[in-house]
């Protein structure tokens, strides 16, 4: 295997393991637990993960099965709007359930912050192909740092690995991943207004 092939294989592994649905599942569970202060926040975290990552991933797989897209990355920027709309609807529904169910404040803020992030990504995506994977990885690190402790900033290394993998696979430019990561990191700003 050549050096280029090894790099591509490593980048593919990183992008598959740290794809948004996986990062959101782990991250939202941890945010839910931190928000409640104990295990009772886990179901709320799972609801957040379901709405932010699992429902959109299921939608993408459904569309792939129909032949709409070739893979989960939806590399054609012009085809991404329906995915963003599903995410916005799913997060909005999740936030409503959280309000009605008196969810811990932190998980509700995180869910609403992800909704705002997705709105920004949708707006930018109309003109430019911003990296959603980078945005999600960065957002989860920022949200965990806000709800748990600043030690979670050490998880920035895997977020950087996601950015690298997206560039190495030629799905995005450095600028597109940096912009995605910046938008994602800004999601923690929702806690400043809470």
d(CA 86, CA 6): 35
**What's the predicted TM-score (pTM) here?**
0.93
pLDDT digits (tens, 9 = 90+) for 123-166: 999 999 999 999 999 999 999 998 887 777 887 899 999 999 99
The count of structural domains within the chain is: 1
CB burial class (10 A; 0-12, 13-18, 19+) of residue 60? buried
d(CA 184, CA 105): 20
Instruction: Cite the DSSP H helix spans in 50-131.
Output: 55-65, 81-100, 105-125
Owning domain of residue 153: 3-193
Phi-psi region of 102 (alpha: psi -120 to 50; beta: other; left: phi over 0): left
Q: Which own/partner contact pairs does 91-95 have at CB distance under 8 Å and 24+ positions apart?
A: 91/51, 91/52, 91/115, 91/118, 93/51, 94/47, 94/48, 94/50, 94/51, 94/52, 95/51
Mean pLDDT of 86-91: 97
Percent of the chain residues topping a pLDDT of 70? 98
């Amino acid at each position: 295997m050549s050096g280029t092939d090894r790099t591509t294989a490593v980048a593919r592994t990183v992008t598959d393991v740290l794809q948004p649905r996986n990062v959101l599942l782990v991250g939202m569970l941890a945010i839910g637990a931190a928000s409640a202060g104990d295990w009772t926040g886990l179901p709320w975290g799972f609801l957040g993960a379901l709405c932010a990552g699992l429902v959109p991933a299921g939608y993408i797989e459904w569309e792939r099965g129909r032949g709409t897209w070739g893979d989960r990355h939806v590399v054609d920027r012009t085809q991404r709007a329906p995915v963003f709309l599903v995410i916005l609807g799913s997060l909005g529904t999740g936030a409503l359930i959280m309000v009605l169910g008196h969810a811990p404040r932190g998980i509700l803020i995180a869910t609403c912050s992800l909704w705002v992030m997705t709105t920004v990504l949708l707006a930018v995506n109309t003109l430019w192909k911003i990296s959603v994977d980078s945005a999600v990885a960065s957002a989860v690190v920022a949200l965990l740092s806000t709800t748990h402790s600043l030690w979670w900033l050490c998880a920035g290394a895997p977020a950087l690995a996601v950015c690298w993998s997206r560039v190495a696979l030629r799905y995005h430019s450095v600028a597109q991943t940096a912009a995605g990561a910046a938008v994602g990191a800004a999601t923690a700003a929702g806690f400043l207004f809470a």
